[in-house]
Amino acid sequence: MATESELIQKQQEVKAEILALKEQIPSARILNALGKAFNHNSLGFWLSNAVLLNLILTGPAVLIGLAFGEIDKAKPILVGGTLATEGVIFAIIMAHIAVQSILDDVAKQIIEKIDDVEELSKMLSWVKHTWSIRYIFDFALPFCLLWSLLGIASNSIVIHQFAGFGFSFWCIINGFLAGLVCHVYFWTCLFISNLKVYQYEINSFSPADSEIISNISKILTKAIYMLAIVGAVFGLVGTSKLVAQQNKALFSIPILVITWALIIAQFILTRSTLDAITNRAKWATLNKLRKKINMIEATGDLSDRDTAERLLRLADLHKQIMASKTNTFDLKSVSTLFSQLMLPLLGLLLGNLDKLSKLLP
């Protein structure tokens, strides 16, 4: 077993590596490279990224379209393509912020609550593996191909001819960035599920009231709120006047349903993980008490007053711990979920504000 000094040293090492990983993930490499002329996270940094990402995503497609004489036939899908580009840029920035926040909180709020060197090594190995270039590429490539095929096919149907080589190139580049965004969502889900496998420093007598449970809940709640904000913005833009009237129905309900499904999935995963951690800690304590009770019963004299009192105290403690809650699904979590679900709906309502105003007296 590792000594306390070895454990502290390992915790510091894992913290440092996770914090260093924040600058190595693909979104950080892209954004840092495009905004390097400005201070990190300054207004200039984000404006530079927004402008350059637009140029990277649309510039080559326009040049290819000009070279092949495809600009005129692409005009009917220009607005949709532009909105999709802005949506991908907004999503990659929000995904980047979400991952940065999660990694930062893991380093500062979770690592110090893992009190086993091997567990710390296991967590670090998992995080590094799931952010390796090969792992991300294996996920993003199929999504990019699916995005490209659907984008080219659907828009070719709209204009009743091949959408063009320029538009096809646009689909591929945007599809890759969209694949990175989807990797972030599924990585977050995997991360939530993975958290249940580690042994934490926890309140043995009331696991649900442990600091680590509160920390994990806050970290994942922030991530779900960011997802809800993305859904709200997509719903607002997708149902605004920027989108043709006949296409609004194609955007509004699917965006809302998909966003709600993603939010609920992460909420259920979060509750499942927290319940698993608290339940495991509860039964670990109960099993220790059971062994003590069985040992006293087997070796002690039950007619002895002191022995009987010890058994009664242990039995009473066992009963209290057994009755303690392990389920983190309560009124507060329900109200949080409700507020998260209302954000995408609010975006949808704001996008249809003109229609709603007509319904009011």
- Say whether pTM exceeds 0.75: yes
User: What span, in angstroms and rounded, lies between the C-alpha atoms of 141 and 147?
Assistant: 10
Domain identity same for 87 and 193:
yes
- The answer, yes or no, to whether residue 29 has pLDDT greater than 60, is yes
For residue 2, pLDDT over 70 is answered with no
In a domain, 219, yes or no: yes
349 found inside a domain: yes
Last residue of a domain, one of 201, 228, 243: 201
Range of the domain at 106: 1-201
Residues 177 and 254 placed together within one structural domain of the fold: no
What is the spatial distance between Cα 282 and Cα 298, in angstroms, rounded to a whole number?
24
Residue 120 sits in the same domain as residue 237: no
172 and 231 fall within a common domain: no
Q: Sorting pLDDT into bands at 50, 70 and 90, what band is 65?
A: confident
325 and 185 belong to one structural domain: no
Alpha helix positions (H), 68-210: 71-74, 78-105, 117-130, 133-159, 165-194
Same domain, 139 and 182: yes
Mean pLDDT of the chain: 85
Same domain, 168 and 248: no
pLDDT grade, residue 321 (50/70/90)?
A: confident
Q: What is the pLDDT of residue 203?
A: 82
| SS3 label, residue 200 | strand
235 close to 297: Cβ distance less than 8 angstroms: no
Q: Is the pLDDT of residue 38 over 70?
A: yes
pLDDT over 70 for what percent of the chain?
91
Q: Residue type at 200?
A: Y
Percent of the chain whose predicted confidence (pLDDT) is above 90:
32
- Residue 96's pLDDT band (cuts 50, 70, 90): very high
CA angle (237, 343, 95) in 5-degree steps:
70
Same domain, 69 and 192: yes
Query: Average pLDDT in the 130-153 region?
Result: 88
Query: How far apart, in whole angstroms, are the C-alpha atoms of residue 350 and residue 308?
Result: 69
Same domain, 157 and 287: no
What would the mean pLDDT of 161-165 be, rounded to a whole number? 84
Instruction: Please tell me the total count of domains within the chain.
Output: 2
Q: Is the pLDDT of residue 315 over 90?
A: no
270 to 15, 149, 215, 305: CA distances (angstroms): 23, 34, 12, 47
| 27 and 68, same domain (yes or no) | yes
305 and 340 assigned to the same domain: yes
**167-219 pLDDT tens trace:** 888 888 888 888 999 999 999 999 999 999 898 888 888 888 888 888 999 99
Are 49 and 105 within one domain?
Answer: yes
